[in-house]
């Protein structure tokens, strides 16, 4: 036996580059197969709440508010709200899946531990969970988009572009949520994430009212929030316009996605290395 | 000796100030069943985790099936079957679906599994439960499903971490029967267990761990012969404890007291039992020395932190 190699393996850094392979697919497929058994009730739950908000606020408040000025164009409040709330729905759908459901699989059911005894690495599992939460967001937003079309809220051909943006928004928020999944000791931890991060962000991102209403300092902070960039991209597309500063907003979302995925992966590796 | 299927050399692992595995080496030959026994906290689970590439050792080397862990973890795991201490079955899938879904992680498609699933379920004595979910199964059935799931890739080597903990005797015997069948088919098994009868029945060789170190290694019968006298007489009842200091102790090579029971380890049980017959009111139990005696001799009788 070769003895010079005995002192080898230095514990690998959790910050090393992701080692991704195509083995994420069976993990993704596993989640899809479980979800298929509950798809219809899950669909109703996923789209009912955002639609209730939209109808109640959009038509109720819309009657009071009338129109809102966006980039110099007056738009009906229902259109203003619909284009913001669909971003929020993408965020919520991805976050719930990457927090509560992923945590159940990772920590409660130990599904990840089982998978890691097969030739599938942790990096592939995290990638699969990220894409899966993104898929859930796509599924939800697609369903809501069809309802909005049926309600005649917008018929902009640029909604197809908006759909692709919403795919990206789902991915961004699933990456961010996986950071908190990696840090969680129990489900209670996620309450902090929702009340301290997501709820304030909803109000600071121009979902319900224009950002121009906010004090200058708050607007500067809001300008860097991922949901604000999402709304800034999606809303003009609903109005059949091209978004201003689109490259900046795309880059903000991309930066959050890459940084959050890397951080989530490092923290998850640390969690599992114990 | 043939080329070992699995070889761990000078493994070391510490957490904080505590060294949990210390200079541990062992190997597994093809077709062999190697048992790892030791009290709670002896380092068994950490050793298994290192063998699976889930934890990186501070020092040492692990070679399995011609590859090095953890660098070639995927190549090794493709030929490995694992049953962990706690079930990781998918609660939302039926037994059959659990096997199909798990096979995909090995790159084995649904078509290839079509013929294999009924075979695996039959092996696990679960043919009648193909459509039941794990939540509807008994503990023994769930363990057998875990074993069947570990066999989807037809592995050469199985790693089983306490496969029968928490099972009733019927379920344990059925599990043992299946494991013996796998050994007959030429598979190799690395097994950790707390049950000495299990170790004695299944394992061709044992290593005993304590405080992260290997303190004994060998075939079960040989280890017993090497460390212990052939007979044990347990004595309990009124005044039994005073016998430990009486002239009776000369009939035994070693006397141990635990609770209200005195253990005489002897080469000559006949003379000891005759002498004990003079003491009325004593209850005696005469039996051959077993692996449990060896285990307690080597690791002591005190309860461990996690016990």
Q: Which residues pair with B6 in a beta bridge?
A: B28, B64
Q: Decide if A117 and B55 are in contact by the 8 Å CB cutoff.
A: no
Q: Burial of A57 by CB count in 10 Å (0-12 exposed, 13-18 middle, 19+ buried)? A: middle
| Cβ-based contacts of B106 with chain A (< 8 Å) | 118-119
Q: Which residues pair with B288 in a beta bridge?
A: B231
pLDDT confidence of residue A10: 62
Q: Which helix (H) or strand (E) holds A143?
A: helix A122-150
Q: Determine the residue of chain A that is closest to B70 in CA distance.
A: A9
Looking at the complex, does the CB of residue A4 fall below 8 Å from at least one CB of chain B? no
| Cβ-based contacts of B52 with chain A (< 8 Å) | 116-117
Q: What is the mean pLDDT of residues A252-272?
A: 96
Q: Decide if A30 and B101 are in contact by the 8 Å CB cutoff.
A: yes
Write the residue in B54, B56, B92 that is nearest to A9 by C-beta. B56
B129-154 burial string, b = 16+ CB within 10 Å, else e? beeebbeebeebbbbbbbbbbbbbbe
Quote the CA–CA distance of A137 and A46 in Å, as a whole number: 9
pLDDT confidence of residue A64: 87
- Scanning A26-85 for CB atoms below 8 A from B yields 26-27, 29-30, 33-34, 37
For A166-220, the pLDDT digits (tens) are 999 999 999 999 999 999 999 999 999 999 999 999 999 999 999 888 899 988 9
For A107-117, the pLDDT digits (tens) are 999 999 999 99
pLDDT at A45 over 80: no
Whether residue A59 lies inside any domain: the answer is yes
pLDDT at A7 over 60: no
Of A149-153, A156-160, A229-233, B180-184, minimum mean pLDDT range: A149-153
pLDDT confidence of residue A1: 44
Q: Which of B23, B55, B61 to mutate to test the interface with A (most CBs of A within 10 A)?
A: B61
pLDDT confidence of residue B180: 95
pLDDT confidence of residue B305: 58
Q: Is B146 within 8 Å of B87 (Cβ atoms)?
A: yes
Q: Decide if B90 and A34 are in contact by the 8 Å CB cutoff.
A: yes
From A109's Cα to the closest Cα of chain B, the distance in A is: 6
| Cβ-based contacts of B50 with chain A (< 8 Å) | none
Mean pLDDT of chain A: 90
Q: Decide if B56 and A115 are in contact by the 8 Å CB cutoff.
A: no
From A119's Cα to the closest Cα of chain B, the distance in A is: 4
Q: Which residues pair with B83 in a beta bridge?
A: B160
pLDDT range class, residue A3, cuts 50, 70, 90: very low
Write the residue in B15, B59, B105 that is nearest to A26 by C-beta. B105
Write the residue in B61, B77, B84 that is nearest to A118 by C-beta. B77
Q: Which of B105, B147, B161 to mutate to test the interface with A (most CBs of A within 10 A)?
A: B105
| Cβ-based contacts of A14 with chain B (< 8 Å) | none
pTM, full prediction: 0.90
Q: Decide if A7 and B59 are in contact by the 8 Å CB cutoff.
A: yes
Q: What is the DSSP string of B13-50?
A: EEETTEEEEEEEEEEE-TT-EEEEE--TTSSHHHHHHH
Q: Decide if A26 and B86 are in contact by the 8 Å CB cutoff.
A: no
Q: Decide if A274 and B73 are in contact by the 8 Å CB cutoff.
A: no
DSSP annotation of A212: G
pLDDT confidence of residue B306: 55
Q: Where are the alpha helices (DSSP H) in chain B?
A: 44-51, 73-77, 95-104, 110-123, 139-150, 169-184, 196-202, 220-227, 240-243, 269-276, 291-299
Q: Decide if A119 and B102 are in contact by the 8 Å CB cutoff.
A: no
What backbone phi and psi angles, to 5 degrees, belong to B30?
-60, 135
Q: Determine the residue of chain B that is closest to A116 in CA distance.
A: B54
In total, how many domains does chain A have? 1
pLDDT confidence of residue A81: 93
Helices vs. strands in chain A: H and E counts, helices first:
13, 2
The token pair that represents A46 in the structure block: 């996923």
Q: What is the mean pLDDT of residues A118-140?
A: 95
Write the residue in B9, B88, B104 that is nearest to A113 by C-beta. B88
From B78's Cα to the closest Cα of chain A, the distance in A is: 6
Q: Is B208 within 8 Å of B26 (Cβ atoms)?
A: no
pLDDT confidence of residue B304: 66
pLDDT confidence of residue B2: 61
Whether residue A3 lies inside any domain: the answer is no
From A181's Cα to the closest Cα of chain B, the distance in A is: 19
From A93's Cα to the closest Cα of chain B, the distance in A is: 21
Of A52-61, A211-220, A239-248, B63-72, minimum mean pLDDT range: A52-61
Q: Decide if A111 and B56 are in contact by the 8 Å CB cutoff.
A: no
Whether residue A20 lies inside any domain: the answer is no
- What ipTM does this complex have? 0.89
pLDDT confidence of residue A182: 96
- The residue among A183, A212, A201, A171 whose CA lies nearest residue A71 is A212
Whether residue A226 lies inside any domain: the answer is yes
From B217's Cα to the closest Cα of chain A, the distance in A is: 20
Q: Determine the residue of chain A that is closest to B73 in CA distance.
A: A119
pLDDT confidence of residue B257: 85
What is the assigned CATH class of domain B6-224?
Answer: alpha beta
Q: Burial of A247 by CB count in 10 Å (0-12 exposed, 13-18 middle, 19+ buried)? A: exposed
Per-domain boundaries in chain B: 6-224, 229-288
Q: Is B204 within 8 Å of B35 (Cβ atoms)?
A: no
Q: Which domain holds residue A120?
A: 34-272
What is the assigned CATH class of domain B229-288?
Answer: alpha beta
The tens-digit pLDDT sequence of chain B (307 residues) is 467 899 999 999 998 888 999 999 999 999 999 999 988 888 898 999 999 999 899 999 999 999 999 889 999 999 999 999 889 999 999 999 999 999 999 999 999 999 999 999 999 999 999 999 999 999 999 999 999 999 999 999 999 999 998 888 999 999 999 999 999 999 999 999 988 889 999 999 999 999 899 999 999 888 888 888 888 888 887 777 787 787 777 888 888 888 888 898 988 888 888 888 887 778 888 888 888 888 888 888 776 655 4
């Amino acid at each position: 036996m070769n003895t010079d190699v005995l002192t080898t393996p230095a514990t690998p850094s959790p910050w090393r580059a992701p080692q991704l392979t195509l083995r994420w697919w069976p993990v993704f497929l596993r989640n899809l197969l479980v979800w298929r058994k509950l798809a219809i009730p899950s669909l109703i739950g996923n789209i009912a709440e955002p639609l209730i908000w939209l109808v109640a606020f959009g038509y109720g408040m819309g009657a009071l508010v009338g129109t809102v000025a966006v980039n110099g164009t007056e738009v009906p409040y229902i259109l203003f709200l619909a284009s913001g709330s669909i971003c929020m729905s993408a965020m919520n759908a991805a976050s719930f899946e990457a927090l509560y459901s992923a945590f159940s699989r990772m920590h409660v059911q130990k599904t990840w531990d089982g998978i890691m005894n097969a030739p599938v690495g942790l990096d592939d599992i995290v990638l699969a969970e990220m894409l899966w939460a993104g898929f859930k967001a796509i599924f939800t937003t697609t369903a809501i988009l069809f309802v909005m079309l049926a309600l005649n809220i917008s018929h902009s051909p640029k909604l197809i572009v908006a759909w692709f943006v919403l795919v990206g928004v789902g991915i961004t928020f699933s990456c961010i949520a996986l950071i908190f999944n990696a840090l969680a000791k129990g489900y209670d931890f996620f309450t902090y994430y929702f009340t301290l991060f997501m709820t304030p962000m909803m109000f600071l991102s121009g979902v319900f009212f224009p950002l121009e209403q906010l004090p200058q300092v708050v607007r500067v902070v809001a300008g860097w929030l991922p949901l604000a960039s999402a709304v800034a991209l999606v809303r003009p597309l609903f109005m059949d316009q091209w978004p201003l500063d689109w490259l900046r907003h795309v880059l903000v979302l991309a930066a959050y996605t890459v940084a959050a995925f890397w951080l989530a992966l490092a923290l998850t590796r640390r969690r599992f290395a114990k | 000796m043939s080329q070992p299927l699995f070889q761990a050399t000078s493994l070391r692992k510490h957490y904080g100030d505590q060294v949990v595995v210390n200079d541990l080496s062992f190997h597994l030959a093809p077709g062999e069943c190697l048992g790892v026994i030791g009290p709670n906290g002896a380092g068994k689970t950490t050793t298994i985790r290192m063998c699976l590439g889930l934890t990186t050792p501070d020092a040492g080397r692990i070679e399995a099936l011609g590859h090095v862990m953890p660098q070639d973890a995927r190549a090794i795991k493709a030929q490995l079957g694992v049953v962990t201490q706690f079930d990781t079955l998918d609660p939302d899938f039926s037994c059959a679906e659990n096997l199909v879904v798990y096979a995909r992680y090995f790159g084995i498609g649904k078509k290839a599994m079509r013929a294999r699933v009924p075979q695996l379920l039959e092996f696990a004595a679960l043919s009648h439960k193909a459509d039941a979910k794990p939540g509807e199964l008994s503990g023994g059935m769930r363990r057998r499903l875990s074993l069947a799931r570990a066999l989807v890739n037809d592995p050469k080597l199985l790693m089983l971490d306490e496969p029968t903990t928490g099972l009733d005797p019927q379920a344990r015997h059925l599990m043992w029967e299946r494991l013996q069948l796998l050994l007959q088919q030429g598979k190799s098994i690395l097994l950790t267990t707390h049950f000495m009868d299990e170790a004695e029945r299944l394992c061709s060789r044992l290593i005993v761990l304590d405080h992260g170190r290997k303190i004994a290694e060998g075939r079960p019968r040989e280890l017993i012969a090497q460390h212990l006298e052939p007979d044990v007489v347990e004595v309990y009842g009124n005044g039994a404890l005073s016998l430990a200091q009486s002239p009776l102790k000369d009939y035994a090579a070693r006397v141990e007291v635990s609770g209200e029971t005195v253990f005489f380890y002897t080469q000559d049980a006949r003379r000891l039992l005759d002498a004990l017959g003079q003491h009325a009111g004593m209850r005696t139990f005469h039996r051959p020395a077993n692996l449990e005696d060896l285990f307690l001799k080597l690791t002591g009788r005190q309860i461990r932190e996690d016990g």
